[in-house]
Amino acid sequence: MKVSRSFETFGREAPEVRQAWMEMVQKADSASKLDKKTEELAYIAVLAAVRSESGLPFHVKMAKAKGATRDEVISAVLVGLPAVGSCVVSALPIALDAFDEKD
């Protein structure tokens, strides 16, 4: 799956930092008690809430590959609505475009 331009630049320009960061991410992932689909949906919710939209397409496709439905992705994006407000709505078209994209 294609990563964002930002993440590609990170890997190219700071490969040692990227490697260290990825090791931490992998260790945290293996320690998680969530199943992989739920973990991706939760991550989508966090990305939407913090307005980090560049990672949404990648993680939406990961969630879809793990069995998430379009409606589950919509719910994940909108779950933060009561806590952070309507800013999560801007993530909705990005997430749905990624979900609907033909592989």
Q: Phi and psi (nearest 5°) for 48? A: -65, -40
Judge residue 63's burial from the number of C-beta atoms within 10 Å of its C-beta, 0-12 exposed, 13-18 middle, 19 or more buried: buried
- Give pTM, 2 decimals: 0.89
5-100, superfamily in CATH? AhpD-like (1.20.1290.10)
C-alpha angle 38-69-72 in degrees, rounded to nearest 5: 55
| DSSP string for 61-77 | HHHHHTT--HHHHHHHH
Whose tokens are 């990624």? That residue is 98
Task: List pLDDT tens digits, range 18-55.
Answer: 999 999 999 999 999 999 999 999 999 999 999 999 99
Task: List pLDDT tens digits, range 4-16.
Answer: 899 899 999 999 9
| Whole-number percent of the chain with pLDDT over 70 | 100
